[in-house]
Every structure is written in structure tokens, then in C-alpha cells.
A and B are shown apart, each in its own frame.
Chain A
């Protein structure tokens, strides 16, 4: 008897809950647009472009005094260091040239430019006994 009563009460509760859910659903569907008022939005994108141009600089080392002085025959050397600074992400190159040909002169006298075996291809320093020459090499990373 008690079980039967409980069952009936349970059924009533279920029916009541179901009815409540349905009513809530109907109310929500009816009022939702008014309550939520979905916002309107719009988007637009632009590309902001900026060009960074290359800059480059080298230092200015002091003049070079070759050493030792040549007394009769023999060799003399000297060096200078140029350092390159640039923002170029494509790198840089360093070139050298003389102001005259031959490069090393004193009035009407001169040292001939170094004569490598194949023009443009550096080779180990070698001077003929009857010659005087002036050349260069490069070192660094």
C-alpha cells in the first residue's frame, strides 16, 4: 500500500517536472531574442607594411707603415683591419683596389703589382730575383 502510494507520488513529481521543463522551454524560446539581443559585429583587416632599408659601415683604421724598411733586398709587410657593420640580412662584401697601377710608387719608381701565376688567383708569395713586387692577402673569419 505504501509502495503504491510512493509510486503515485513519484509519477506526480515526474509529471510536474516534465511540465515545468516544457513551460520553461516555451518561455525561453519566446523570450530568448529579447533577453540575449545578439550583438552585430563586423571585421576588417589591413596590412601595415614597413620597409627597413640596408645600412652599412666600415671602420677607418690608421695608415699602414710597412716594416721593416727594405735595405737592399728583402721583404716588408704590414696590415690593416676593416670591420663591417650592416643591418643587411643578405650579408655584405668587402673589396679593395689601388688608386693607381702599379699601386706602390715613389715618384717615377715603383713596385710592380704582384704577378700571380693565374691572374686573379692568389698564390704563395714568390718573387723573381730580378723583380720587386707589391701584393696583398686577406685573413679573418
Chain B
């Protein structure tokens, strides 16, 4: 009888051990699925975005130089161009005429201002027998060469830089381009409505 009980106990132990083993094996197999233990892996990526430069300038009204020239004397006028850009490296503003000479009326014209050193603005001075038309630039961003009311002449369609900025973004940086014409004391300048077409070009700096 005692033997019988021992056998039963042994069987029970064997069964229990088998069950433990089975459950253990099942747990080991299914554990990741059931408990969803977190496995990790990392991989950084760069998300890149280019913001390209945009730029615009204002469109000032046409310029009526004043006063009219009656016989001899000088006349002035100006236009203001403002540059807006998102460029962080700034911008430049250039001006050019549509023709050489710039200021014409039919077959008649004002010569482009003749500075002593081509391309170097100077204090305005026109010979008695001459009539000339030129420009200057003022404003916080104007090129230093134009300070103290120094003028130079247009060079046809060749662009001449009048101002720039090396920082940005900029919202409405203004440059005033001043125009001046003069008929010398002994010059007989033909009557007429003279006109120069001046184009300003703003470009973002690289």
C-alpha cells in the first residue's frame, strides 16, 4: 500500500515536472509574442529642405525732372527702389540705360555724364559747351563712391552697381537714384521732351 502511494507520488511528480517543462518550453517560445518585450534599433536620417532666394523690388513712378531747362541750367529728379529678399547673403542693385546716350529726344540728346575717370563718380561739373545727363545714389546701402553728391554717367545697357547689402533677410531696403541734367552756359540744347529709360536690377548675392 505504501509502495502504491509512493508510485502515485512519483507519477504525480513526474507529471508535474513534465508540465513545468512543457509550460517552460511554451513560455520560452511564445514569450516575445505574448509579452512584447521591446527590441530597439536606431537609425537617424537627415530631413533636408532648401529655401531658395526670392527677391523683389518696388516699381516707382516715372520721373519728371524739374525744373524744365530754358536755355541753360540744370534739372534734377530721383527714383527710389526698395529691395525685399529672403536671402541671408544680401543683394545688389544695379542700374542701366536702354541706350547710349541715355537721355534723348528724337535725334537730339544729352551726352552721358563724362566723369574724369570712367566709372568713378565725381562732383558734378559740365563744360559750358556741353549738355550732360548722369546719376548718383543715396541711402544706407548706396555704394560709398557716390557719397558727397558724386555723379557718374550711364554706360548704355551695361549694369552699374549702385548699392548692396551683405545681410538678410531684408524687407524694403531703399536706394534713391538721383538724376541730373545740365545744359552748359554756351550750349544751345534743342527743345524737346527728352526721355531716358532706366532699368534697375536687384539680384540676391550668392
User: Which A positions have Cβ atoms within 8 angstroms of B?
Assistant: 33-34, 37-55, 85-90
Contact = CB atoms under 8 A, between A and B. Distances in A.
B120 interface: no
Contacts of A89: 106, 108, 190-192
Contacts of A40: 52-55, 85, 87, 203-204
Contacts of A49: 62-65, 193-195
Given A39-B204, A42-B57, A52-B191, A87 B71 contact: yes
Given A39-B53, A41-B55, A48 B198 contact: yes
Contacts of A86: 188
A134 B56 CA distance: 76
B52 A55 contact: no
At the interface, is chain B mostly helix, strand, loop or mixed? strand
B179 interface: yes
A34 B63 CA distance: 41
Contacts of B61: 46
Interface stretch (B4-12, B23-31, B73-81, B143-151): B73-81
A88 B202 contact: no
Contacts, number: 133
A39 B206 contact: yes
Contact of A45 (B77, B102, B199): B199
Nearest to A34: B50
B189 interface: yes
Contact of A46 (B63, B83, B85, B181): B63
Contacts of B54: 40
B104 to A, nearest CB: 10
Contact of A48 (B77, B108, B189): B77
B55 A52 contact: no
Contacts of A88: 190-191
- Identify the interface centre among B58, B133, B188: most chain A CB within 10 Å of its CB: B188
Given A43-B201, A45-B197, A55-B71, A50 B65 contact: yes
A52 B192 contact: yes
Given A41-B201, A49-B64, A50-B103, 17 more contacts: A33-B52, A41-B203, A45-B198, A45-B199, A46-B62, A46-B63, A47-B63, A47-B197, A48-B65, A48-B179, A51-B68, A52-B105, A53-B68, A55-B70, A87-B190, A87-B191, A89-B191
